[in-house]
Structure 1
Amino acid sequence: MDSRQLRTTALGFLLAGVVLAVLGWLVGVDEVVAILRQADNRGVGLVGLLICGWVAAWGFGIRDVLRALDTPTSSVTGILLSAGAGFANNVTPFGHAGGEPLTGLLIVDRTSAPYERGIAAMATVDTVNVFPSVGFGLVGLGWIAVDSSLSHQLTIVAVAAVVATVVGSLLGVAGWRRRSGLAARLAAGLSHIARPIGSVMPRLTPPSRAKLTARIEGFVADLELIAGSRRTLTVVFGYSAVGWLCQIAALWAAFEAIGAPISFAAALVVVPIGSVAAALPLPGGAGGIEGLLVGLLVATPLSTLPAASVVAGVVLFRGVAFWLPTATGGIVFAESAVRQRRQRDS
């Protein structure tokens, strides 16, 4: 990352720290820390195992998408790419939108895929990941409705989830049908942006419009290839669902570990909704996801726990879910950077 990206990331972490500090101040930091200190070690270990399961499941999905694009990829490489994606998403603002360009570079380094193919693979995985999350959220809401009665707040959440899914799907279908025209306009727009960069930075030769068009067409062709493989999409959907279940179970296990259990239905609802905050201009949604999870569990009938217990459970879950892939993926990126430097020097 350049200095500007580093400043943006640092500012994002600062904002995330402010959000977390406000949460701690509202409920009492000392009380939250005391609850976390009493957490069952085996329960914390289970949270870690489930988060590892999430990273591995989504890594298998990346592996299968790359294989469908004629890029042989091992299971280990798929898991490393998944961890690397977690790192990239967690150190750049706007979640996947900020992290996928970096993940595309990692795919180029770890496989024989061109850059646009790596981006196409990650775009496919990210798109598929949306549908199981919505499904689990609606299952959780239905479970709560059958078990008791949906509150006014949760009814609004259910309606909003359905509307967002329908609108997003319609926009996606419309964009896909017009993909050729959109690709041409994107190439034209990028060429207009790249031209002045070459005049300001003489050492940097911007790609021609023809080259940009060829690469974007390659990206679209890869998407078309994956879209035509129902088997690949089905398998990736399955791995995505397993990954979401691991995250949901990890949140449930975190509250079990601190001795303040929540229902599994509540976890089914809040984890998918909480992930929406990853799109905020915060590294990996840090601060925003925690705030949304706490708000859902405190302000709705999803739990009757004291606020301090809710914050402690969310902090335990997010601490593992954020830092485990970030640390592992950081090592993957660092190893790739060192290897590339040695190759240049040799």
Structure 2
Amino acid sequence: MDERNRHAFIIGAVGAVAVFAVLFFFVGARSVIDSLLSAEPSLVAGTFGLALCWLAAWSLMLRTVLASLGIHIPIGKSFLVYAGAVFANNVTPFGQAGGEPIAALLISKVSDARYESGLVGIASVDVINVVPSISLILVGVAYYATTAALGSRLETAVGSAVALIGGIVIVMALVWQYHTTIAERLPSIIAPRLGRLDRFDPETLEEEIADRMGRFFENIERVATDRWRLVAVTGLSLCGWLFQTAALTVAFAALGYDVPAYILLFVIPLANLAGAAPLPGGLGGIEAAFVTLLVPTTGVPASAVTAAVLIFRGAIYWMPVLIGGLSVSAFGVRALR
């Protein structure tokens, strides 16, 4: 890990600690600890088992996307590769935006694929995951609205999510519509500047950037036009979201609370939007978002909600960090060191 990345990580870690400190101050650290100590161990283990199912489903997504690019990875290795990608996302600021380049490096390392192919693979998984999440938010909120009035906090969260996702979709559509122009003109703009910084020949660098961008957009087109694989990948994405929903349901059950699944269907993708914060994998911000959304919608005490979220995030965040960290080390990728 270079000096700049080290500073960013330290700042993000300090920010995460600060968010947790504020959260525990308002909720009550002693009450949260008491709730955690009362959790049923077998159901906590079930939460972690369902999290493994989520990780397996989304690793199959990555394997299927890579197959459409002509990159074939065994099922077991694809699980470790995706765990490594999640690890990269979880230890770099801005979530997927920070971890995708490292995940692409990992994919290219274990499969001998080009870097831009690995980047298309992991980016496609992240983008496709947005589609079921939007559906779950809309369906879950619509059903919740038939059983209870939407609070201003939830309305704001849903409105912000729709606006953010809509903005991302518009930007992606514009980039794709003008990708030929971008691939032709952007290299001539950035190559001279990068050449001065890294002391490379600008003309050679421009050709290299243009070639890589051309292959990048070509790979995106290959993924988007492979309809059967696209349907399979979207189905696996939905399965992953449902496994996460089941995991959080079981986490609440471990504390003795029965929370309707339709609430968790929209809360999980909404809370994950906090992963865009400049914190390692959204650590702290996502937990706070969960508590903010779940307390008014479930009626469960804040201390119990926080405890359930900590169990859930232990399975969804910390377990992949452990598995993925070992995976990255075993594959010999040192970009994070």
TM-score range (shorter-chain normalised) is: over 0.9
Matches within 5 A, 1:43-62: 43-62=43-62
Work out whether residues 198 and 205 of structure 1, in 8 Å CA contact, stay in contact via their aligned partners in 2.
Answer: no
CA distance in 2, matches of 1:57, 1:253: 19
- Evaluate the alpha carbon distance shift between residue 107 and residue 338 of structure 1 in structure 2; reply closer, same or farther with a 3 A threshold: closer
- Evaluate the alpha carbon distance shift between residue 114 and residue 320 of structure 1 in structure 2; reply closer, same or farther with a 3 A threshold: same
TM-score (normalizing by structure 2): 0.93
* 1:263 shift after superposition: 1.6
Work out whether residues 293 and 314 of structure 1, in 8 Å CA contact, stay in contact via their aligned partners in 2.
Answer: yes
* 1:248 shift after superposition: 1.6
CA distance in 1, matches of 2:333, 2:96: 25
Q: Report the residue type matching 2:35 in the other structure.
A: I
Work out whether residues 154 and 293 of structure 2, in 8 Å CA contact, stay in contact via their aligned partners in 1.
Answer: no
CA distance in 2, matches of 1:218, 1:103: 18
Greater displacement, 205-214 / 156-165: 156-165
Aligned-residue CA RMSD (Å): 2.0
- Identical positions, percent: 36
Alpha-carbon displacement from aligned partner over 1:71-119 (angstroms, at most 9, x marks no partner): 1121112211110111000110001110011011100111021101000
The DSSP-based 3-state class of the residue aligned with 1:93 is coil
Match of 2:113?
113
The reply to whether residue 320 of structure 1 matches residue 277 of structure 2 is: no
Matches within 5 A, 1:280-299: 280-298=277-295
The DSSP-based 3-state class of the residue aligned with 1:337 is coil
Q: Report the residue type matching 1:318 in the other structure.
A: R
- Evaluate the alpha carbon distance shift between residue 274 and residue 185 of structure 1 in structure 2; reply closer, same or farther with a 3 A threshold: farther
CA distance in 1, matches of 2:235, 2:136: 13
* 1:338 shift after superposition: 7.8
The DSSP-based 3-state class of the residue aligned with 2:39 is coil
* 1:42 shift after superposition: 1.0
* 1:166 shift after superposition: 3.6
The reply to whether residue 70 of structure 1 matches residue 70 of structure 2 is: yes
CA distance in 2, matches of 1:118, 1:55: 18
CA distance in 2, matches of 1:15, 1:152: 27
The DSSP-based 3-state class of the residue aligned with 2:129 is helix
Work out whether residues 161 and 273 of structure 2, in 8 Å CA contact, stay in contact via their aligned partners in 1.
Answer: no
The reply to whether residue 240 of structure 1 matches residue 234 of structure 2 is: no
CA distance in 2, matches of 1:71, 1:286: 32
Match of 1:3?
3
Work out whether residues 63 and 77 of structure 1, in 8 Å CA contact, stay in contact via their aligned partners in 2.
Answer: no
The reply to whether residue 123 of structure 1 matches residue 123 of structure 2 is: yes
CA distance in 1, matches of 2:81, 2:332: 14
Match of 2:178?
178
Alpha-carbon displacement from aligned partner over 1:39-64 (angstroms, at most 9, x marks no partner): 00111011101111111111001101
| Aligned partner (choices 247, 251, 256) of residue 259 of structure 1 | 256
- Evaluate the alpha carbon distance shift between residue 123 and residue 186 of structure 1 in structure 2; reply closer, same or farther with a 3 A threshold: farther
CA distance in 2, matches of 1:273, 1:286: 15
TM-score (normalizing by structure 1): 0.91
Structure 1: state its 5+ residue gaps: 341-346
- Evaluate the alpha carbon distance shift between residue 114 and residue 20 of structure 1 in structure 2; reply closer, same or farther with a 3 A threshold: same
* 1:197 shift after superposition: 2.3
The DSSP-based 3-state class of the residue aligned with 2:259 is coil
Match of 1:308?
303
Structure 2: state its 5+ residue gaps: none
Work out whether residues 248 and 268 of structure 1, in 8 Å CA contact, stay in contact via their aligned partners in 2.
Answer: yes
| Aligned partner (choices 256, 273, 278) of residue 275 of structure 2 | 278
- Evaluate the alpha carbon distance shift between residue 125 and residue 23 of structure 1 in structure 2; reply closer, same or farther with a 3 A threshold: same
Q: Report the residue type matching 1:329 in the other structure.
A: G
- Evaluate the alpha carbon distance shift between residue 169 and residue 40 of structure 1 in structure 2; reply closer, same or farther with a 3 A threshold: same
CA distance in 2, matches of 1:188, 1:16: 40
Q: Report the residue type matching 1:272 in the other structure.
A: P
CA distance in 1, matches of 2:209, 2:132: 34
